[in-house]
């Protein structure tokens, strides 16, 4: 039973409330809380002179600003704290605030708790954004008023009073968002799991446990969709509270969706043929199968088929940029883990010139070398991890007694230039970094856009 949002409005009114992080996404939240009568303080590591216009605007609305390097030391005496997703719940400041009696929460937790519409939540190591976008597109195609949020789209908590029980909501949820959640979505999809974000999590066990929160608090009538081909997600079925559907490209699950002899099926009914899907690669077949399972009660097969045959992809995900002198350039900046890069590489029909490297999330690159070498014609390395990736490939070269060219670059522009110089007519160049972007860019979108800008100037 969904909780009435009036309950939250009554609760927050007059509460001394802290909002940690004053980035663009949190500003609508601040306005929303003020509108409900909360007394709001905004916390951020930036000094006021680093964002004077925003600071002045917030102060004009009555927001107290707590800024600077030691800003979290000022988190004392608050009734409610809205934390930013990337902040660990066990950091000293939040532990002290909780011990003082503060209610620690996040915008996403409160949205899932009070949203009147049916919520489809998608998480996993790879394929989250594409699967989320497919579910959203299929719901729209079938005629539902549908909202999209979480890691993509816009913050939805501030729009909650516009939503109806007949609407649908699709959320892409990261391990950081899920880590502290004690409420689950009506439909939960876990695309796959492999080592990721181990720079933020204490280990793989904590990472997996965070992901499990997407279904841990479901009811008996809720739905969990799992990847049968992934060892970790397959093992989650025994922990399910509600119903379970599985998807597989290797076998036919008892209940769910599967791929067989060039076609995609859902519960014994053929949906479409692989050759008619615009998105290439078996990893995208998996994404479609996951979406089919999630929507089996809500969307007609005809709508699923139409989206499968018309959906051309999401920006920064194996996105075709342009062709120059017979060489095709692809932007796969979303690939921030070795497993995601491998999925992108196998989608192409020949070995490619790969530009990889970036911020170090403490992930092993040996699987990329072992499984990816056959799909790479030339490897161009950049960023903080370039030496670590090179070392993993050199171990594989030694094992096999064979090599591929490895080129080291100091800048993004140099990497693209060297890729162009190396390429011959008919080649494919792809940016698929296998790493996060934070050593050079604030996010993967900025990285992908920089790549496209450089390529478009060639």
In this predicted model, what pLDDT tens digit does every residue of 367-415 receive, in sequence order? 999 999 999 999 999 999 999 999 999 999 999 999 999 999 999 999 9
The pLDDT value given to residue 77 = 95
Instruction: State the pLDDT at residue 362.
Output: 86
Residue 258 has a pLDDT of 98
The architecture (CATH level 2) of 319-457 comes to: Alpha-Beta Complex (3.90)
For 5-105, the fitting CATH number among 3.40.50.970, 3.40.920.10, 3.40.50.720, 1.10.287.3510 is 3.40.50.720
Q: Mark residue 68 as left, alpha or beta (left: phi above 0; alpha: psi -120 to 50; beta: remaining).
A: left
Closest by CA to 406, choosing from 390, 387, 427, 426, is: 390
- Residue with tokens 């017979």, as numbered in its chain: 326
Kindly state the greatest CA–CA separation across the chain.
70
| Per-residue confidence (pLDDT) for residue 453, from 0 to 100 | 95
Within the chain, which residues score under 70 in pLDDT? 1, 153, 195-203, 315
Distance, CA of 430 to CA of 421 (rounded, Å): 14
Q: How far apart are CA 114 and CA 133, in angstroms?
A: 23
The first and second tokens of residue 54, run together, are 């925003």
For residue 252 the two structure tokens come to 């036919």
Q: By 3-state DSSP, what share of the chain in percent is helix, strand and coil, each rounded to 5?
A: 40, 20, 40
- Rounded to whole angstroms, what are the CA distances from 292 to 224, 239, 255, 289, 303? 12, 22, 12, 5, 10
User: Residue 297: what pLDDT?
Assistant: 97
Residues constituting the chain: 458
Query: What is the C-alpha separation between 81 and 293, in angstroms, rounded?
Result: 36
Q: Where are the domains of the chain?
A: 5-105, 112-310, 319-457
pLDDT value at residue 420: 96
pLDDT of residue 340: 83
DSSP 3-state of 379 = strand
Q: CA 265 to CA 457: how far, in whole Å?
A: 43
Residue 126 is predicted with a pLDDT of 83
Tell me how far apart the alpha carbons of residues 230 and 250 are, in angstroms, rounded to a whole number: 11
The answer to whether residues 358 and 440 touch, using CB atoms and an 8 Å cutoff, is yes
Angle at 252 between CA 247 and CA 255, to 5 degrees: 60
Give the pLDDT confidence score for residue 1 in this predicted structure. 64
CATH topology assigned to domain 112-310: 3.40.1190
What are the Cα distances from residue 76, in Å, to 72, 244, 347, 419, 451?
Answer: 9, 44, 52, 53, 44
| pLDDT score for 146 | 96
Measured CA distances, 63 to 9, 57, 82, 167 (Å): 19, 9, 14, 33
pTM above threshold 0.85: no
The answer for residues whose C-beta is within 8 angstroms of residue 10's C-beta and 6 or more apart is none
The DSSP output letter for 68 is S
Predicted local confidence at residue 157, as pLDDT = 93
């Amino acid at each position: 039973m969904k909780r009435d949002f009036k309950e939250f409005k009554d609760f927050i009114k007059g509460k001394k409330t802290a909002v940690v992080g004053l980035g663009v996404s949190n500003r609508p939240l601040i306005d929303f809380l003020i509108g409900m009568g909360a007394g709001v303080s905004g916390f951020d590591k930036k000094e006021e002179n680093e964002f004077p216009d925003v600071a002045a605007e917030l102060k004009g609305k009555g927001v107290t600003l707590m800024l600077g390097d030691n800003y979290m030391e000022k988190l004392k005496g608050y009734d409610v704290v809205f934390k930013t997703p990337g902040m660990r719940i066990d950091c000293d400041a939040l532990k002290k605030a909780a011990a003082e009696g503060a209610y620690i929460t996040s915008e996403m937790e409160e949205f899932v708790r009070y949203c009147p519409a049916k919520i489809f939540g998608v998480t996993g190591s790879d394929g989250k954004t594409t699967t989320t976008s497919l579910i959203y597109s299929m719901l729209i195609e079938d005629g539902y008023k549908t909202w999209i949020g979480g890691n993509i789209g816009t913050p939805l908590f501030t729009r909650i009073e516009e939503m109806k029980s007949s609407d649908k909501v699709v959320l892409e949820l990261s391990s950081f968002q899920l880590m502290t959640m004690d409420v689950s979505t009506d439909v939960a999809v876990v695309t796959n799991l492999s080592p990721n974000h181990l720079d933020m999590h204490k280990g793989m066990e904590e990472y997996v446990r965070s992901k499990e929160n997407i279904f841990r608090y479901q009811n008996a009538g809720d739905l969990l969709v799992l990847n049968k081909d992934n060892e970790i997600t397959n093992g989650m079925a025994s922990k399910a509270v509600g119903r379970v559907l599985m998807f597989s490209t290797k076998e036919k699950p008892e209940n769910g969706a599967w791929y067989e002899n060039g076609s995609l099926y859902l519960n014994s009914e053929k949906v479409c043929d692989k050759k008619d899907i615009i998105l290439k690669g078996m990893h995208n077949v998996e994404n479609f199968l996951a979406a089919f399972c999630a929507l089996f009660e809500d969307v007609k097969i005809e709508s699923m088929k139409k989206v499968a045959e018309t959906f051309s992809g999401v920006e920064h995900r194996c996105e075709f940029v342009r062709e120059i002198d017979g060489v095709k350039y692809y932007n796969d900046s979303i690939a921030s883990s070795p497993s995601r890069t491998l999925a992108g590489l196998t989608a192409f029909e020949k070995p490619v010139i790969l530009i990889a490297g970036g911020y170090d999330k403490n992930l092993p690159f040996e699987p990329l070398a072992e499984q990816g070498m056959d799909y790479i014609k030339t490897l161009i390395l950049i960023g903080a991890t370039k030496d670590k990736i090179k070392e993993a490939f050199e171990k594989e070269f030694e094992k096999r007694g064979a090599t591929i060219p490895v080129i080291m670059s100091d800048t993004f522009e140099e990497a693209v230039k060297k890729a162009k110089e190396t390429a011959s007519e008919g080649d494919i160049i792809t940016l698929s970094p296998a790493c996060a972007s934070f050593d050079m860019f604030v996010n993967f979108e900025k990285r992908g856009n920089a790549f496209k800008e450089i390529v478009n100037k060639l």
